[in-house]
Amino acid sequence: MIEYVIRGLINGAVYGILALPMSLLFATAGTVDFAIGAYALIAAAVATSVAGTLGLVAGVLSALLASAVMAGIFALLKRSGEEGIRVALASFGLSVAIASIVLLIWGTQPFVRPTFSRMLEIGGLRINPQGLINVAISVGLVALTYYLLRATSLGRMMRAAAANPVGAELAAIPVLGVQCGTILAGGLLGGLAGLLILHSAGLDFTASLSLTFIGFAAAIIFGIQTPLRSLFGGLAMGVVEALSAGFTSGMVTSMIPSAFMLVVLMTGLLGSNRFAGDRP
Amino acid sequence: MALHVEHLSARYGRIEVCRDVSFTAADGEFLVVLGPNGAGKSTLLGALAGTVAGGGDIGIAGRMLQRTSARQRARMGLALVPEGRRNLFSPLTVEENLQLGLRLLPAAERAAMQASLHSMFPILSERARQTAGLLSGGEQQMLAIAVAIARRPSVLLLDEPSQGLAPVILDRLVEVISALRAIGLIVVLAEQNHRFAARLADRYVVLQGGDIVGSGPGAELADQERAADALLSRPPLH
Ligand SMILES: Nc1ncnc2c1ncn2[C@@H]1O[C@H](COP(=O)(O)OP(=O)(O)O)[C@@H](O)[C@H]1O
Ligand SMILES: [Mg+2]
């Protein structure tokens, strides 16, 4: 039992990284980027094809490039006044396109590149050291995001654009730029999450949408407002996933995030477009 | 530096609210746009600030503003405090709201401007770390004005700042807005509260159904009959 919980927390930390840009974008643009999981996938795929540290850089860059495409789509849709649901649909399309490209180039092979060959033994529990690295990086990224939102001029502008877009225009805040920047941050964070997964549990071309769903569920489970809640949401999703994997069939496990999303969409929990980063 | 507005029109989609509005305001002048609810005052100010679609010519100090976005106009010296102080970011603190206004100033001038805003609005330093949304209506109005003038605009557009405020607060608001004369900026004040407007106006125009139907010197507004006339939409007799 405790082993499942710990394994879940370790996986969940990465889900927190996926949830983070979801909640940021929802706050600043009132929309959802369903391609977040695809950024993780493309980063992992590219990283396996380039040797060494350069592979990590190439992976993140490819994820950034993919999110730049999304930012372009967003800007075009926004210019024609087609926001919200259109953007979400377009990101769905982009996600499928990226998965297809990965399937085309890399085939159905799983992407996994364990960093450590030996597990750590802590109090009788076997833990992958990479898991601890993942947790540290997640916590670090959440702290960094929190700092960025609270203490920098850019963060203030993001929160202002989220709270009051018209007021932001009146204050000469480049709202569209802030929103596109948030999508790019999604590419960066999604790509990093993909690399962490590559070096721990691994993933294949089918992972993009399920990672998106997990990130989405993690982003809203405790309310979509703040970075810290995203991390806790990710941890919660990780634990739920690990427990259900341990005590039920794999089918149930894979259904949980999508079932969760269905409930959220049906109950309209996502209704209020609140601000990001106001409180931890 | 004067403000010139010629043949200004403003619309929401296909619904045209203002058709052919022209007026000018000289440097340091306080112009009141007086009119009843629904006359198009907010629409007019929105069209000037760029948040409402429109046509016609708008010039500040000879620079033409049409075909520019609200964001560009804000950078070109126009500052709007909308109805209900909707230029504020209620989840952000008072200080953060001010910082967002100050950031358009050259870095070297920010500290001095901040200090002068704090001395002009002492409440803002007392409440610096409080969330703007938790301030009282009067305090929010002070903050909204402070944020707007923080970037040293040449034209300040105020949309019904008196709305929903208690008489004592209005006295303070009149003081604060009057003090802006020292800065020398042009103030365009949309109001339906003629008593409040009378205490600030150098000149007034009456807006009715989206058109300017009358105008006169501010001193006339003190004459209650005329002001009532203006609000009852009969143009004054000149
Ligand atoms: N967003 C909007 N969409 C359509 N019509 C509007 C909108 N806002 C205001 N109007 C209409 O424009 C007219 C002028 O409104 P407004 O400018 O708010 O007047 P005022 O500020 O003088 O009370 C009114 O008839 C109002 O119904
Ligand atoms: Mg109005």
pLDDT of residue B232: 60
Distance between first and last Cα of chain B: 28
Nearest by CB to residue A166, choosing from B72, B75, B86, is B86
Nearest residue (CA) to ligand 1, atom 26: B38
| Lowest-confidence pick of A140-154, B192-206, B220-234 | B220-234
- Domain-located, residue A118: no
Of B27 and A252, the one with more pLDDT: B27
- Residue B110 CB less than 6 A away from ligand 1: no
A 10 A CB-CB count for B30 gives 23
Domain enclosing residue A213, as ranges:
2-113+128-278
pLDDT of residue A220: 84
Say if the Cβ atoms of A170 and B69 lie within 8 Å.
no
Give the residue from chain A lying closest to B50, CA to CA: A170
Q: Which atom of ligand 1 is nearest to the CA of B83?
A: 21
Q: Which residues pair with B208 in a beta bridge?
A: B211
pLDDT tens per residue, range A97-119: 999 999 999 999 999 988 888 88
The total domain count for chain A is 1
- Residue B14 CB less than 6 A away from ligand 1: no
pLDDT of residue A278: 37
- Domain-located, residue A212: yes
Please determine, for residue B238, whether its predicted confidence score (pLDDT) is greater than 60.
no
pLDDT of residue A269: 56
pLDDT of residue B39: 95
pLDDT of residue B231: 64
pLDDT of residue A185: 95
- Domain-located, residue A90: yes
pLDDT band at B225 (very low <50, low <70, confident <90, very high): low
Q: What is the CATH number of the domain that holds A193?
A: 1.10.3470.10
How does the average pLDDT of chain B come out, rounded?
91
Give me B169's structure tokens: 């607060």
Please determine, for residue B207, whether its predicted confidence score (pLDDT) is greater than 50.
yes
- Domain-located, residue A45: yes
Cα(A68) to centroid of ligand 1, in Å? 38
**Is the distance from CB of B124 to CB of B79 less than 8 angstroms?**
no
**How far from A92 is each of A36, B1, B73, B122, B204, CA to CA, in Å?**
10, 51, 36, 51, 55
- Domain-located, residue A120: no
- Strands, sheet with B3-12, edge to edge from the N-terminal-most edge strand: B15-25, B3-12, B53-60, B63-64
- Residue B17 CB less than 6 A away from ligand 1: yes
- Domain-located, residue A14: yes
Average pLDDT estimate for B88-116 = 95
pLDDT band at B66 (very low <50, low <70, confident <90, very high): confident
Interatomic CA distance for residues B110 and B105, integer angstroms: 6
The closest alpha carbon to A21, from A233, A200, A199, belongs to A233
- Domain-located, residue A18: yes
Interatomic CA distance for residues A269 and B92, integer angstroms: 24
Instruction: Give every residue of chain A whose pLDDT is below 50, as ranges.
Output: 271-280
Average pLDDT estimate for B89-109 = 95
- Domain-located, residue A39: yes
- The distance of B193 to chain A (nearest Cα, Å) reads 24
Task: Give the list of residues 6+ apart from residue B6 with CB closer than 8 angstroms, or none.
Answer: B22, B56, B57, B58
- Residue B37 CB less than 6 A away from ligand 1: yes
